[in-house]
């Protein structure tokens, strides 16, 4: 299995192997992922995976392959930049509603399930 890193603000994901937990906003997580891509890490999961939009959930987790000696992966950079741009637009047009925090356990479970599924797929490679 590839050596991976999970960048997350989801308390349910923080206990997974390779998870780095940050108590910050979804947008901050996306920017942090971009920083890791600039360091040579490669996206494994899409930053906007799943059917929950960035303006609907407070949680985000992204799987990266650890590639510390590699150059910047242009495809990963393009994807994360596009994800940040779309998230900014969605949040500007329709900010995260306060009711999202009423359902935070549900959103955390959805995000956890997406990451767990991604990790299971990796174990078959």
Q: What is the pLDDT of residues 62-101, one digit of tens each?
A: 999 998 677 999 999 999 999 999 999 999 998 877 766 6
How far is residue 24's CA from residue 71's CA, in Å, rounded to a whole number? 27
Counting the structural domains of the chain, the total is 1
pLDDT in tens, 32-55: 999 999 999 999 999 999 888 888
Cβ–Cβ under 8 Å, residues 17 and 78: no
Cβ–Cβ under 8 Å, residues 12 and 111: yes
How far is residue 90's CA from residue 20's CA, in Å, rounded to a whole number? 26
Q: What is the pLDDT of residue 61?
A: 97
Domain that holds residue 17: 4-123
pLDDT band at 124 (very low <50, low <70, confident <90, very high): low
Indicate if the pLDDT at residue 117 is higher than 70: yes
């Amino acid at each position: 299995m590839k050596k991976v890193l999970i960048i997350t603000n989801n308390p349910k994901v923080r206990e997974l192997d390779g998870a780095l937990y940050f108590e910050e906003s979804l947008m901050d997580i996306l920017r942090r992922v971009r920083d890791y891509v600039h360091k040579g890490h490669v996206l494994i999961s899409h930053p906007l995976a799943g059917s929950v939009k960035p303006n609907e959930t407070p949680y985000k987790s992204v799987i990266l392959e650890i590639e510390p000696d590699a150059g910047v992966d242009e495809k990963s950079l393009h994807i994360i930049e596009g994800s940040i741009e779309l998230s900014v637009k969605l949040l500007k047009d329709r900010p995260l509603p306060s009711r999202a925090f009423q359902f935070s356990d549900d959103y955390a479970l959805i995000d956890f399930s997406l990451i767990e599924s991604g990790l299971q797929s990796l174990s078959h490679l």
